[in-house]
Structure 1
């Protein structure tokens, strides 16, 4: 999830664990704990693109990381807050839950997380977008309400608990129910249109859980369809050719196979101005109503010093400006 959401979650968890004993400092250190796992993006700057992608949401988002580093961070905080009522064990417990709930939340996004690192297993339930105001804003509201009261006031814990409950219901009940409901709609549409397919994957579109996208793999191509719970018209699927022949000479390249593994097999190739691109289909394209628009995650492939490299294509601000109005219109139904 985005940094703001992880800060809010970490702060609320910190308050729940240690707020009664140390007050707002529990919120502060909980917020810090909630941001630490995403520092892996800074580490990724020292590596090539493919390695950086592999590092993200890996070790720092694992149970192992939380168990190993919570006592270390707890010890550091206990030295900084030497006059506090909280002990090293108290601070370590707060840091553990702040570090651990971060990847638990990320596991519900499309990118997922390697919670059980070092095992090569990425959990990605794909029931919430990485930025979802319906999850974050109510959560933030209750946290702010809790902060208005003294640490010993029962209302403080009440409001913080409400934030955790409301956000958890949305994450663990409402969005999975919407995913199940929309998945059935896509299945029914494919059956009605006599479309034979190998597998299907669904996810919410940006900033909401009302409009969902399905990726469907067939023998020769991928189909992509969108469905809003407000739709009244049948689902249309558009075709995206695999174009695997464009990279036939690279079939055995280890770096290409790393990209394929990262994408979980949801990928296509395309050519532009003589350059070859690897497109990760899991995150859709820049314009939800334009099948020919660029994919959000697309990598230019090139050979440097005898090795295949990948460079992520840059996105323009105008892409986002054009995307949001069309997204909103599509959320309201076809």
Structure 2
């Protein structure tokens, strides 16, 4: 999830465990440790593909956090103001702050390596968009209220209510995903569409309109469905890709990493003399957030290398189409319409 969400979630968790001992200081503690796992973005792993794949690896491992929490607790107790809390309580609080960060991340589609180093599998429930105000706003409001001494008497109650509201929204996202998947699979079956890989994700900032990708040997289907849609209103568009071109390349680590990390949900496109791999899970057709040049054509042959990332995000002025589609199935979100 976004940094602001992780800051206020960390503050809320810290206050629930440490608030009666540290008061408002616990909010700062939670914000700090709630941000810590995402500092791995400062590490350069060698190429932009590797930076993409290895984000949310060791720093987002529940096993590493379990091992490091007592160490962080010991360091905290070096400060006089922190000595009112026992080492055990510090360890529990820090682990809860860190673990709720990574567990929330696993609700997005990106992929979080919760069991690193035992497994590098990128867990991703894909029921939440990376930014969702409906989840974050209750935590922001609660954190702001807790900053004022006048609300101290009701602070724990307010904080608990915010955590409960945000948690219920996570549950709703799972229910919405199940409902959408049932609807989309029926729509695909009605058109006799078979696929090898599939994933559904919420569209930006909501859990009412969903985008799904169903990959075939020839390309992929991009599907849009609202929780309000009847099955016949589900939009399905096919886009060809040239994934077979990868068989002509010498298999290199960055390409293999990208294939595995996307769980087969990738598309290969030829643009002029460049071969581009896109993660089909994030963005939409022609506007994928993570696209990389994996090869260039030289003397009629494809040569791998470079692996630079392309900047190809959906323009903000196009978001209006998405929000209109929530309640209006006649809105066309295909590439031709958006362009």
TM-score after normalising by structure 1: 0.89
Residues 138 and 166 in structure 2, CA contact (< 8 A), matched pair in contact too: yes
> Secondary structure of 1:130's match?
coil
Structure 1 residue 152 displacement after superposition: 5.9
Residues 277 and 301 in structure 1, CA contact (< 8 A), matched pair in contact too: yes
Per-residue CA deviation, residues 93-126 of structure 1 (Å, 9 max, x unaligned), is 2211111111111111001211111112221111
> Secondary structure of 1:325's match?
helix
The corresponding residue for 1:322 is: 317
Alignment of 1:197-236 (within 5 A): 197-231=195-229, 234-236=233-235
Compared with structure 1, are the counterparts of its residues 144 and 47 closer, same or farther at alpha carbon in structure 2 (3 Å cutoff)?
Answer: same
The RMSD of aligned alpha carbons is 2.2
Flag structure 1 segments of 5+ consecutive residues without an equivalent.
286-290
The corresponding residue for 1:288 is: none
> Secondary structure of 1:282's match?
coil
For 1:197 and 1:263, locate their aligned partners in 2 and report how far apart those are by CA, in whole Å.
16
Residues 266 and 282 in structure 1, CA contact (< 8 A), matched pair in contact too: yes
Residues 11 and 30 in structure 1, CA contact (< 8 A), matched pair in contact too: yes
Per-residue CA deviation, residues 44-89 of structure 1 (Å, 9 max, x unaligned), is x353112212320001001122122222222222222446422333
Aligned length: 322
Flag structure 2 segments of 5+ consecutive residues without an equivalent.
297-302, 330-339
Residues 6 and 102 in structure 1, CA contact (< 8 A), matched pair in contact too: yes
> Secondary structure of 2:194's match?
coil
> Secondary structure of 2:128's match?
coil
Residues 249 and 304 in structure 2, CA contact (< 8 A), matched pair in contact too: no
Residues 107 and 127 in structure 2, CA contact (< 8 A), matched pair in contact too: yes
Compared with structure 1, are the counterparts of its residues 273 and 141 closer, same or farther at alpha carbon in structure 2 (3 Å cutoff)?
Answer: same
* Runs of 4+ displaced beyond 4 Å: 149-152
For 2:197 and 2:262, locate their aligned partners in 1 and report how far apart those are by CA, in whole Å.
14
Structure 1 residue 196 displacement after superposition: 2.6
For 1:84 and 1:150, locate their aligned partners in 2 and report how far apart those are by CA, in whole Å.
25
For 1:210 and 1:283, locate their aligned partners in 2 and report how far apart those are by CA, in whole Å.
17
